[in-house]
């Protein structure tokens, strides 16, 4: 049996597993952003409270995030598949000299202190309608691009 297709139109194609996987990541991102917003993790006041050592709330969040991330990495290393079924490999990293970690952590910390948000909450705040974060996200993306451009010339 043939299907008649009018001229100028494309026949409908079924969604691929990659398309479905991207939707899964998108929905997980929306859920993650909602959790960040509802848990006050994107609150500028909470972040400033943490930097001034005036409250334990954010340190408690980090204390639960580190073991959760360790468990997630262990599961990825054990099962090694994405939602789309593609293999995921996390190569072992050889630790280098400490200067790059100190410099990178310092730059990250200054950026976080100035903006009041690290990368995940930046997108959550943007999604919550804090339009000033558009400048911050654009600057973060520009910084990522500059690093990618300069990476071959940097001492790694």
What value does the mean pLDDT take over residues 88-110? 81
Task: State yes or no: pLDDT of 125 exceeds 60.
Answer: yes
Give residue-wise pLDDT tens across range 39-56.
Answer: 888 887 887 788 788 988
**Which carries the bigger pLDDT value, residue 150 or residue 82?**
150
The predicted structure's pLDDT at residue 81: 75
**Across-strand partners of 87?**
81
Confidence bin at 22 (pLDDT 50/70/90): confident
Distance CA 34, CA 42 (A): 10
Confidence bin at 16 (pLDDT 50/70/90): low
Task: State yes or no: pLDDT of 67 exceeds 90.
Answer: yes
- Chain centroid offset of residue 49 CA: 23
Distance CA 83, CA 86 (A): 7
User: Percent of the chain having pLDDT more than 70?
Assistant: 86
Task: State yes or no: pLDDT of 129 exceeds 80.
Answer: yes
The predicted structure's pLDDT at residue 37: 84
Distance CA 24, CA 91 (A): 25
Instruction: Return the domain boundaries, the chain.
Output: 17-153
Task: State yes or no: pLDDT of 25 exceeds 90.
Answer: no
C-alpha dist (Å) from residue 42 to 45, 49, 88: 9, 12, 29
Task: State yes or no: pLDDT of 150 exceeds 60.
Answer: yes
The predicted structure's pLDDT at residue 14: 61
Q: What is the mean pLDDT of the chain?
A: 80
Return the biggest CA–CA distance within the chain. Answer: 72
């Amino acid at each position: 049996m043939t299907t008649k297709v009018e001229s100028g139109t494309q026949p409908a194609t079924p969604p691929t597993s990659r398309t479905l996987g991207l939707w899964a990541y998108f929905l997980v991102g929306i859920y993650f952003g909602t959790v960040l917003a509802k848990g006050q993790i994107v609150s500028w006041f909470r972040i400033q409270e943490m930097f001034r050592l005036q409250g334990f709330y954010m340190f408690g969040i980090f204390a639960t995030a580190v073991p959760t991330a360790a468990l997630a990495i262990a599961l990825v290393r054990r099962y090694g598949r994405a939602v789309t079924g593609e293999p995921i490999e996390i190569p072992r990293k050889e630790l280098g000299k400490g200067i790059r970690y100190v410099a990178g952590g310092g730059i990250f910390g200054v950026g976080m202190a100035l903006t009041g948000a690290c990368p995940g909450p930046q997108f959550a705040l943007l999604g919550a309608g804090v339009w000033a974060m558009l400048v911050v996200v654009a600057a973060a993306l520009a910084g990522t691009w500059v690093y990618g451009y300069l990476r071959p010339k940097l001492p790694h």
